[in-house]
Amino acid sequence: MIERSLTELAAMVGGEILDADGTGDAPVVASVVTDSRKAGPGALFVAIAGERTDGHAHLGGVLAAGGAAALVSDLPAARAALDAAGVAPDDADGERRTLPLILVEDTVEALGLLARAHLADLRERAASRGSELTVVAMTGSVGKTTTKDLTRQLLAAQAPTVAPIASFNNEIGLPLTVLETDESTRYLVLEMGASGFGHISYLTGIAPLDAAAVLMIGHAHMGGFGSVDGVAEAKSEIVQGLLPGGTAVLNYDDERAWAMRAIAPGPVLAFSASGDPAAEIRAENVEADAQAHAVLDLVAPGAPTTRVRLGLPGLHNVGNALAAVGLAIAAGVPAADAVAALAGARIESPHRLDVRTVGAPDGGDILLIDDSYNANIDSMSASLASLPALAGERRRVVVISEMLELGEFSDADHARTGELVADAGASLLVTIGEGAAPAAETARRAGVGEVVELPDADAALTRIDALVRAGDAVLVKGSNGSGAWRVANHLAERPVEGTPGGTDR
């Protein structure tokens, strides 16, 4: 973020400056945080009232850390927190230090306004220099974060690029990512998620797009949309959020995604993991190598057909890689350069089909396949389809926590998961949470030899060491809120004997 004065920030969000003690535009703000533990000199802390804690209660810590100012909506709570912190006199002049406040009605909305104004300003500055700040984004029911990671690497190989950490894809994470840009930024990569209608439109209102990719329309957040067609309607908001003349990068293999070409305001690039010749960007002659990495002939406009081995496992990632190439091309990167950079690209975010050898609870090692960040039936299917190739001759163990936000489809999707576990040749299934019970029941009927049902992640942490043994391949998958990632972290803590940590396969 570029440095901005309090007066400038207040004007951007329509807020009122309070408690500045005559400092005027000082101090200068150089960063924006929503976690008080990350506040420091030059930081604007945005106090957000969440489900677990209210940011207003942490203003004392922000002041103690040297934070520059705070964006607040509850003035009594903010001042009470500062008073309770026992603000001490300044050592230099004996005066009591204060934390300037910018008062607004809604801090989340103000965060979005700040990001929108900041991005618009940077785009104007770039244009005045004869340059550009190109903004690209992706959405879909699965693959968003992987595609974000790949796209970031393809663009960063060309020029300074900003992209979100992990899955910063909502009304808080996306503005924070936008606010990391400065005058050196050439590309901004954004991930856009939705659990209801209008969510993506809100995000594109903050960051209007030069290019947008729609990956696939599946069963994520079905409880909020009611049907797959409802999911498609919500995801189409990203195409509607393109700037005039912006490029839509659409999955030709997904009929609902491809149908969005009708609302695109500019060029359309089609990608096809199945190799359909009607798609400009496509994969041909796809095969999986011994490490379950896809090897393919990549066809893209303006580049020679190139044999590429993806740097991440799973055949389902072919489509994600093609979408990343499409976004890079749409952003102005020569196709040959984008394809050349793809072979070296890796998954950068945690808990996304991270395959590594770690220590087994009883000595020796296990192959940990950590895909535990989130789950719906589409991503569950993709992960389990990768298990046989990744596991090889190892005993196959699957740990799944409940898939959340599936609404009326929950029982059916969990039951289908049990079938997929059996199809993947699992010897042991461990389920976490009551909602995963249909998976356990179906897996038993389908012939999985051992099925263990546990009520929650705490119980799983207590039992998992006794269930997993040396030589196993352990796939951990589930929704973030149901705790599968805690099991993955627990298993990953053991280094292989003789090494400082786990090793990539």
Among candidate residues 344, 379, 410, the one where a domain is terminated: 344
| Nearest to 431, CA basis, from 412, 407, 450, 408 | 450
Do residues 218 and 171 both lie within one domain? yes
Do residues 101 and 124 both lie within one domain? no
Q: Which CATH number belongs to the domain containing residue 238 in this structure?
A: 3.40.1190.10
Query: What radius of gyration, in Å, describes the C-alpha atoms of the chain?
Result: 24
Asked whether the predicted pLDDT for residue 173 surpasses 70, the reply is: yes
Do residues 358 and 474 both lie within one domain? yes
Mean pLDDT over 325-332 rounds to 98
Do residues 227 and 373 both lie within one domain? no
Share of the chain above pLDDT 90, in %: 77
**Weakest-pLDDT range from 26-35, 420-429, 452-461:** 26-35
Q: What is the pLDDT of residues 382-404, one digit of tens each?
A: 899 999 999 999 999 999 999 98
Confirm whether 208 is domain-assigned.
yes
Q: How many domains does the chain divide into?
A: 3
Mean pLDDT over 443-450 rounds to 96
Confirm whether 362 is domain-assigned.
yes
Do residues 329 and 251 both lie within one domain? yes
Asked whether the predicted pLDDT for residue 431 surpasses 80, the reply is: yes
**pTM as predicted:** 0.85
Q: What is the pLDDT of residues 202-228, one digit of tens each?
A: 999 999 999 999 999 976 555 567 688
Mean pLDDT over 189-213 rounds to 95
Do residues 296 and 368 both lie within one domain? no
How high does pLDDT run on average in the chain?
91
Q: What φ, ψ does residue 333 adopt, rounded to 5°?
A: -80, 130
144 annotated ligand binder: yes
Predicted confidence at residue 88, as pLDDT, reads 45
Asked whether the predicted pLDDT for residue 56 surpasses 90, the reply is: yes
Confirm whether 498 is domain-assigned.
no
Do residues 271 and 418 both lie within one domain? no
**Weakest-pLDDT range from 194-198, 403-407, 440-444, 501-505:** 501-505
Cβ neighbours for 381, distance < 8 A, ≥ 6 positions apart: 420
Asked whether the predicted pLDDT for residue 435 surpasses 90, the reply is: yes
Mean pLDDT over 272-276 rounds to 98
Confirm whether 499 is domain-assigned.
no
Q: Which CATH number belongs to the domain containing residue 483 in this structure?
A: 3.90.190.20
Predicted confidence at residue 498, as pLDDT, reads 44
Predicted confidence at residue 91, as pLDDT, reads 43
Confirm whether 51 is domain-assigned.
yes
Confirm whether 501 is domain-assigned.
no
Do residues 310 and 250 both lie within one domain? yes
145 annotated ligand binder: yes
The DSSP secondary-structure symbol of 55 reads: G
Do residues 100 and 113 both lie within one domain? no
Among candidate residues 56, 73, 105, the one where a domain is terminated: 105
Do residues 168 and 306 both lie within one domain? yes
146 annotated ligand binder: yes
Predicted confidence at residue 502, as pLDDT, reads 52
Predicted confidence at residue 219, as pLDDT, reads 61
**Beta-strand (E) ranges in 97-234?**
101-103, 134-139, 161-162, 187-191, 209-214
Predicted confidence at residue 231, as pLDDT, reads 87
Predicted confidence at residue 199, as pLDDT, reads 95
Q: Output the CA–CA distances (angstroms, integers) from residue 99 to 62, 70, 72, 93, in the order listed.
A: 8, 7, 11, 16
Q: In what order do the strands lie in the sheet with 69-72?
A: 16-18, 101-103, 69-72, 43-46, 31-33
Q: Which residues span the domain enclosing 52?
A: 4-105
Do residues 180 and 328 both lie within one domain? yes
Residue with tokens 């389809």: 385
Confirm whether 173 is domain-assigned.
yes
Q: What is the pLDDT of residues 62-119, one digit of tens each?
A: 999 999 999 999 999 999 999 988 754 444 444 556 899 999 999 999 999 999 999 9
Do residues 149 and 263 both lie within one domain? yes
Mean pLDDT over 284-302 rounds to 94
Confirm whether 502 is domain-assigned.
no
For residues 389 and 165, what is the distance between their CA atoms, to the nearest angstrom? 29
Predicted confidence at residue 25, as pLDDT, reads 59
Confidence grade of residue 142 (pLDDT, cut at 50, 70, 90): confident
Among candidate residues 312, 344, 376, the one where a domain is terminated: 344
349 annotated ligand binder: no
